[in-house]
């Protein structure tokens, strides 16, 4: 009985990764230095398209999700996919949307403008989130996401992050 309940729970809580672009390559490992997944019969690369769902396996790297495709453990670049939790239109266990930083030295600002003051320490040195940091999503204004970072309400350009 316990085994049946465990299988039902695992099935009900399975996460998926949804492709957000067309003609996305799958890789055999978590970087572009790994070979592309190819069809055995034709030796042609496998491409997946926007909206296609894959089973999330976890064990992903900073830039790639580990997913299952055709019974194989493969990888898809995070910039072309989003992690989705069951029964929620978000990608966070807490049920809240997050903004994922996908660049280095990305500036946070006090307003939704390039003219807004850059978030910095008391000596004026800019404080940057790290690539891969997940910031709490608070809203958006034009080309900017409103986020919470270190207890402050700040803005980050959509060019340097993505919403999950």
CATH of the domain at 62: 2.30.30.40
Q: Is residue 3 part of a domain?
A: no
Whether residue 69 is found in the same domain as residue 124: no
Whether residue 33 is found in the same domain as residue 73: yes
Where among 26, 49, 84 does a domain terminate?
84
Could you tell me the residue range of the domain that residue 74 belongs to? 14-84
Q: What is the pLDDT of residue 85?
A: 58
Q: Is residue 58 part of a domain?
A: yes
Q: What is the pLDDT of residue 156?
A: 95
Q: Is residue 120 part of a domain?
A: yes
Where among 57, 84, 111 does a domain terminate?
84
Whether residue 126 is found in the same domain as residue 151: yes
Q: What is the pLDDT of residue 87?
A: 42
Q: How far apart are CA 60 and CA 44, in angstroms?
A: 25
Given a contact cutoff of 8 angstroms between Cβ atoms, the answer to whether 84 and 78 are in contact is no
Q: What is the pLDDT of residue 89?
A: 41
Q: Is residue 8 part of a domain?
A: no
Q: What is the pLDDT of residue 4?
A: 38
Q: Is residue 7 part of a domain?
A: no
Q: What is the pLDDT of residue 8?
A: 37
Q: Is residue 90 part of a domain?
A: no
Q: What is the pLDDT of residue 14?
A: 59
Q: Where are the beta strands (DSSP E) in 4-113?
A: 16-19, 24-25, 47-48, 53-56, 64-69, 72-77, 81-84, 98-101
Q: Is residue 5 part of a domain?
A: no
Give me the number of domains the chain comprises: 2
Q: Is residue 57 part of a domain?
A: yes
For 79, list phi and psi in degrees, rounded to 5: -70, -10
pLDDT, averaged per 10 consecutive residues of the chain (164 residues), comes to 38 67 90 89 86 81 86 90 59 67 89 93 87 86 90 91 84
Whether residue 103 is found in the same domain as residue 52: no
pTM for this structure? Answer: 0.48
Whether residue 43 is found in the same domain as residue 105: no
Q: How far apart are CA 44 and CA 146, in angstroms?
A: 42
Given a contact cutoff of 8 angstroms between Cβ atoms, the answer to whether 36 and 27 are in contact is yes
**Total Cβ atoms within 10 A of residue 21:** 14
Whether residue 148 is found in the same domain as residue 103: yes
- 107-123 pLDDT, tens digit per residue, is 999 999 999 999 988 88
Q: Where are the beta strands (DSSP E) in 1-129?
A: 16-19, 24-25, 47-48, 53-56, 64-69, 72-77, 81-84, 98-101
Strand partners for 48: 24
| Distance between start and end Cα atoms, the chain | 36
Whether residue 19 is found in the same domain as residue 76: yes
């Amino acid at each position: 009985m316990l085994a049946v309940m465990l299988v039902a729970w695992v099935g009900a809580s399975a996460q998926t990764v949804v492709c957000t672009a067309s003609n996305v390559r799958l890789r055999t490992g978590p970087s572009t230095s790994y070979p592309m997944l190819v069809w055995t019969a034709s030796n042609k690369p496998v491409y997946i398209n926007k909206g296609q769902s894959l089973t999330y396996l976890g064990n992903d790297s900073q830039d790639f999700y580990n997913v299952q495709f055709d019974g194989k453990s493969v990888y898809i670049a995070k910039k072309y996919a989003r992690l989705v939790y069951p029964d929620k239109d978000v990608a966070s266990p807490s049920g809240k949307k997050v903004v994922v930083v996908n660049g280095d030295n990305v500036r946070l600002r006090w307003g939704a403008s390039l003219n807004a003051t850059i978030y910095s320490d008391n000596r004026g040195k800019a404080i940057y989130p790290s690539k891969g940091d997940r910031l709490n999503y608070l809203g958006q204004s034009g080309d900017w996401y409103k986020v919470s970072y270190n207890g402050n309400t700040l803005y980050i350009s959509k060019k340097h992050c993505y919403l999950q």
